[in-house]
Structure 1
Amino acid sequence: MSAQARPVLIAAGGTGGHLFPAEALAVALGKRGVRVALATDGRVDRIAKTFPAAEVIHIPSATPSGGSALAKGLAALKLARGVLSSLRALRAMRPACIVGFGGYPTVPPVLAGAMLGIPTLIHEQNGVIGRANKFLAPRASAIATGFRKVKGIPESMAGKRHYTGNPIRPAVIEAAAIPYSPPEPGGTLRLAVFGGSQGARVMSEIVPPALLSLPEEARARLAVDQQARAEDLEAVRLAYARAGIAACVEPFFKDLPARMAAAHLVVSRSGASTVAELGAIGRPAILVPLPGALDQDQAANAGTLAEIGAATMILQPDFTPARVASEIAARLADPSGLVRAAAAAKSAGVTDAADRLADIVLNLAGIAVSQGRPADTAS
């Protein structure tokens, strides 16, 4: 079977943060007539059902970090089973290339592919290379990155490293075409507040009381879209209603990119996908990195926007109602800074990352590139 006829296997799982950029690559490859298969674990069945793949294979995986020695041993055993399962699947599928998007569900298929001599590529979305990708990097044929600077990748691997940016979903690309419209003097300030499954609670605990503490005339100028966990919904809605603040509070927004584009200011965590989407759409932000992560990847992600004036980074211990109220009051008083921050964010945006990544994949696979452009090689 020629490389042209063989599928590209995308390995991703664990969270939407890995699945969404993988989906964007699958769409880019599909537009070029390339058949895509997905290798994932069982935790993302709902997302995987809509993934544009001709075939989905489930590979056993686990995270061998944290917990007791017994838990780590059991996780390592499960990963070994995943490698054996991957070897069988790859021999039957014979993919032209394997692309991993980080997280431990990526390890078995990418490692098995390297053992079989199949070209492999890993994509690191964050500003710090994750532990799974760090393990796979020496074995991968190529390394693509979402940021120009990524901590933890040795200089010895510079020759196989490529900066592509983080692939973004079609809905984000559509939202990126909407220009930033600054708030009118004395007019409404629209806020989009979200934090993902691990971050929505702190947003529910901090942002409503912060806005409630503002003077009545300031509260009347606010319009809020906020994601909140199901258990927090009623409390957050009631707080905004009592404060006289126009608010839409839901557990999930299917049209989140459009709501980000409609916002004057975003308040959120700083996962790689969120930072990429803020840049592509070009919106100012207050970013609160998820604390406690061993790699501190979200702090590194937020730092890329904070350094260019596109975002204000607030570490969680400093993310208090008083601090948030002060930040919002300053922007209500002088919205000119929002315009500068929006322009700075837009300057960091990459909207063709999926095509850049697809070019590298097809080159590794030996499949003729019919469109797109080469990716930049990081120095």
Structure 2
Amino acid sequence: MTTPAKLYGKDLSEYDEIDVEELLAKLSPEEINILAKEVDPDDSFLPPSQRCSYDCEKEATGPLNRKQLIEHINKQAMETPDQPELKPFVAGTVRGKKWIPPPPPLKEVEAGEQIAIDLGDEYETALSEATQDEIIDLAAILGFHSMMNQDQYHASLLNKGQPVGLGWDGITKASKQKIFPMDPPNNTDPDQTIKQVQDDDPKLIDLNWNNIKNISDEKFDSLFDALVQNTHLETLSLTNVGLTDRHTNKLADALEKNNTLRVINVETNFISPTGIVRLVKSILKTKSVEEFRGTNQRSQVLGNKIEMEITALVEKNPTLLRLGLHLEYNDARHRIATHLQRNIDTNGRAMKANYKITLGNTGAAIKIEQTL
């Protein structure tokens, strides 16, 4: 319970019935001016002259004439005489005292002195006879990154030999860009795969529509409606296909009824944070999905509330093993990582329990039987 605010010993609610207009009518003009100076009305519609405490008693001379005001200022500046110098200016003459910096503190002087280190005759001889490339390698091993450039450091770690012509003052040249071939286009026929999903084709286990452009809403609806009755599809990849929250709701409804999907990938689309929560919540119903990926969406940052909601849903899922989401807060990342590791350990023990291992009489023959 919080204590109610009070003013002059009374609760603020008791002042609601007081008529402010009646109180102001009893004040004299002088008292109203004093009150106006002490109170700053936070009203942007009032002119600044009525909001500040400064009170000018002079009467207004008329409307503002900007051109006339500037001319008056320039005229006044030109007519005002300059202040005479006490000493006339003479070229080449130093006027006043020359500033001399004070001596540095004693501690800084002592720190700047060289420290002599006795490395022993063996190390002194080795360092004095070492070449520049060997000293650069030694600096890389000791972690002195600022003493060398990037090419020298990586060459030392990979034992490739120092680049020719690069010493302590060498400049790193830009390395040539590696050109990788373009990924081949996705030749998957959406209409054909939708027909296979609708017919529950046992050969179709992995459905990949990644990077297919201009997929109509009718095709998405047909695919998601067919997922409800499909019993063979295990991997669904819909990366960079233009999914929105409208498609997300249809997909979530299908995931709540499908029991065979194991991997779902909806990365690089236009799904909002609430849509991601809707998908994570849908895979909690059947508890068959082992991997869910949904990074690089319309909103790069989910927010604390959404991340905590996703964390609570993941902690209720006993089958999820991998989650591909960008989480900003350490608490959510740690809790989800701990829960996924627990699921991996639990599922690993369950898989071992489903197999019966028996040894032959001589111990040489091993027989593995799956117990269902």
TM-score, normalised relative to structure 2:
0.21
- Larger helix share, 1 or 2: 1
Structure with bigger RCO (C-alpha 8 Å, 6+ apart) = 1
Which structure's CA Rg is the greater one? 2
Q: TM-score, normalised by structure 1?
A: 0.20
The structure with the largest strand share of the pair is 1
